[in-house]
């Protein structure tokens, strides 16, 4: 995933300063600053000294465990070349930057200064606070404790997202080495990750679609270098998406293989959040290199319901090997207006032999019954707090497991809360293992 090229750089004249570690990750250059390095002091954002009207303590996140809340930014934040206006703060020491909230936020599309099983509700002094002054957005996990390991002490750290795309992780209080934090109940990692999403027909419900997320790049920090009074700075590198014309795109000297799509008027390597659209319009398939040739061959128009078969053939095995999650929601059925008609057309019986009326009525009733059960199951699973869901839960046989969040070694479930709400309820997706 991350392609690290380590090139330590010394700091002459100061024997107390450790060598600066600089890594090139294709999309970002990361620099780790130790406690003794002067540059580190200028990277920490003092929330206490900031404008009081700009600093907000999130009341719900500061008093709950495994919750996440969406925040609207006051500026466009560039992340892997994409401009974001919305992020999701999680109590577990990370920021989710995906468009679709799903139950495994910890898997991909995150900015994680220190992802772990933090529980801000343990102490009255624990808070999750954030600041937005128009040029930088800062989230600070202040005096938070690890769930079940409160004796390790409190952690204080922050992530700063600058309008230039620069990302800074600051660590004020790390009481124990990060390598000692258990990942049994919650993943423990630090770094960046992004992914692209595709919509595929669901094998279980043909009329709907499922979202499949593929991680195309990840930056993993060496957690042994995270300590109190340390910092990490990520400087974004140019990407294909920054080019606004065909000429600058095809002549780009970036390490990426940039291609210009005349239909979309977009420059891309084919591996970003727009990948599904890129493949749908047949972009990047032409061998012609001149912009005139690309413009002449730009009459291709794919149907909106493209099967995206090039995806499985064009994605390297190291990229497509991470299958994150399949989510089918009520809204997904509105995205596919063609699969239903195609499926019905292919399943119609032959007209060469008449079918008895009783058989047709039986088939229709059976289909309606199955459809009703499926719709009821989808509704209950997506509305676990509804009266219908509670009715079935209360009357389930004792051998049935209750609908609840489960702890996994690699994926931790989160619930989303509304920023303006004072309750802990919100988006809850029950997982059935």
Domain residue extents for the chain:
21-196+214-236, 240-315, 330-412
**Cβ-Cβ contacts under 8 Å for 263 (sequence gap 6 or more):** 281, 282, 283, 298, 300, 301
- The SS3 assignment for 381 reads helix
Amino acid 347: pLDDT: 34
pLDDT higher for 157 or 427? 157
pLDDT higher for 354 or 176? 176
DSSP codes, 228-244 = TTEEEEEEEPP-GGG--
Residue 127 pLDDT exceeds 50: yes
Amino acid 298: pLDDT: 56
CA 218 to chain centre: 11
**What pTM, to 2 d.p., does this model score?**
0.68
Cα–Cα distance measured from residue 215 to residue 412, given in angstroms and rounded to the nearest whole number? 17
Place of tokens 């009326």: 357
What is the tens place of the pLDDT at every residue in 389-413? Answer: 545 444 433 333 322 223 334 567 8
Q: Among residues 170, 173, 169, 132, which one has the least CA distance to residue 156?
A: 173
Sign of the Cα torsion 56, 58, 62, 66 reads: negative
Residue 348 pLDDT exceeds 70: no
What is the tens place of the pLDDT at every residue in 275-329? Answer: 999 999 999 876 666 787 766 655 544 444 333 333 333 333 333 333 333 332 2
CA geometry: angle at 176 spanning 173 and 182, to 5°? 120
Amino acid 31: pLDDT: 95
Amino acid 200: pLDDT: 79
**Cβ-Cβ contacts under 8 Å for 289 (sequence gap 6 or more):** 250
The bridge status of strand 127-132 relative to strand 136-144 is antiparallel
What is the tens place of the pLDDT at every residue in 23-32? Answer: 778 899 999 9
Sign of the Cα torsion 227, 137, 102, 419 reads: positive
Alpha helices in 196-265 (DSSP H): 246-250
Residue 160 pLDDT exceeds 70: yes
């Amino acid at each position: 995933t991350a392609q690290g090229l380590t090139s330590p750089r010394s700091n002459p004249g100061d024997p107390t300063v450790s060598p600066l570690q600089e890594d090139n990750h294709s999309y970002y250059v990361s620099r780790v600053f130790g406690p003794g390095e002067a540059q580190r002091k200028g990277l920490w954002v003092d929330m206490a000294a900031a404008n009081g009207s700009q600093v907000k303590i999130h009341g719900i996140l500061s008093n709950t465990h495994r919750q996440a809340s969406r925040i609207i930014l006051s500026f466009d934040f560039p992340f892997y070349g994409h401009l974001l206006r919305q992020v999701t703060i999680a109590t577990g020491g990370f920021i989710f930057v995906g468009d679709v909230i799903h139950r495994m936020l910890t898997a991909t599309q995150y900015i994680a200064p220190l992802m772990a099983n933090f529980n801000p509700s343990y102490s009255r002094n624990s808070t999750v606070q954030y600041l937005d002054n128009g040029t930088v957005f800062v989230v600070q996990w202040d005096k938070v404790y690890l769930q079940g390991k409160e004796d390790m002490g409190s952690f204080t750290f922050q992530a700063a997202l600058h309008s230039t795309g620069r990302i800074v992780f600051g660590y004020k209080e790390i009481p124990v080495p990060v390598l000692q934090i258990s990942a049994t109940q919650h993943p423990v990692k630090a770094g960046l990750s992004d992914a692209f999403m595709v919509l595929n027909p669901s094998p279980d419900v043909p009329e709907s679609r499922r979202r499949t997320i593929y991680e195309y790049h990840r930056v993993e920090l060496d957690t042994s270098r995270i300590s109190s009074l340390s910092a990490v700075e990520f400087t974004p590198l140019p990407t294909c998406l920054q080019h606004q014309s065909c000429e600058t795109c095809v002549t780009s000297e970036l390490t990426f293989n940039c291609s210009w799509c005349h239909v979309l008027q977009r420059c891309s390597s084919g591996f970003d959040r727009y990948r599904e659209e890129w493949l749908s319009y047949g972009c990047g398939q032409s061998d012609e290199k001149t912009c005139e040739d690309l413009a002449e061959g730009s009459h291709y128009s794919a149907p909106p319901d493209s099967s995206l078969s090039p995806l499985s053939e064009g994605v390297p095995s190291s990229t497509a090997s991470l299958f994150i999650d399949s989510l089918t929601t009520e809204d997904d059925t509105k995205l596919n207006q063609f699969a239903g008609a195609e499926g019905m057309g292919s399943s119609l019986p032959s007209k060469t032999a008449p079918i008895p009326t009783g058989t047709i009525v039986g088939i229709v009733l059976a289909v309606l019954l199955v459809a009703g059960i499926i719709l009821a199951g989808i509704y209950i699973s997506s509305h676990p707090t509804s009266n219908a869901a509670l009715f079935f839960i209360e009357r389930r046989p004792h051998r049935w497991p209750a609908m609840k969040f489960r702890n996994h070694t690699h994926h931790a479930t989160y619930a989303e809360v509304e920023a303006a709400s004072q309750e802990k309820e919100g988006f809850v997706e029950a997982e059935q293992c």
